[in-house]
Amino acid sequence: MSEKRTAVFDWRALPEQSGTGYPPPLRVGLEGRFYRRAGAHGGLAAFGVNFVRLAPGGVSSQRHWHSKQDEFVLVLEGELVLEIDAAPRTLGPGQCAAFPAGSGDGHRLVNRSARDAVFLVVGDRPAGDVVEYPDVDLRAECPDGDTWRYTHRDGTPW
């Protein structure tokens, strides 16, 4: 029988990280994104839970959608612009956005304000997930639910 484990912690005390697996030409704006991996810290394996801080001018990602992964976002502090296929929407504290797998609606968050914004993002980690990026020549595959492989849309490696 496995040992019972309950993780109780303050997410604000977790180390803040930055970086991306995107190829260098597609990293613009991501230098303003910082995250704390709460799910991993708590020992979760089936889904990710991250607190993300976007500095002014920062972006959450390139606009994208997942074939198999559901994503959920909750804005905690500040103001963010949700860029989707329809007109952009401004989100503030307490507002949520849900992105069902396979929706085909590319999305990302952008901080166009003069102060930091913080949001919570939760997503499952299905093996075989494919991410499409409608605005740039990028495609990502996650065969094992953990490791991402980035290619051009035609399948050639970056």
Residue 36, SS3 per DSSP: strand
At 19, list the tokens.
């970086």
Residue 32 within any structural domain of the chain? yes
Residue 74 within any structural domain of the chain? yes
pTM value is 0.93
Residue 1 within any structural domain of the chain? no
Asked if 64 and 132 count as a contact pair (C-beta separation under 8 A), the reply is yes
Residue 106 within any structural domain of the chain? yes
Residue 90 within any structural domain of the chain? yes
Residue 15 within any structural domain of the chain? no
- pLDDT above 70 covers what percent of the chain? 98
CA 142 to chain centre: 14
CATH number where 139 lies: 2.60.120.10
In the chain, the amino acid numbered 87 is A
pLDDT in tens, 1-57: 556 778 899 999 999 999 999 999 999 999 999 999 999 999 999 999 999 999 999
Of 45, 20, 40, 46, which is closest to residue 31 (Cα–Cα)? 20
Q: Which domain holds residue 101?
A: 23-151
Question: How many domains does the structure of the chain reveal?
Answer: 1
Asked if 2 and 43 count as a contact pair (C-beta separation under 8 A), the reply is no
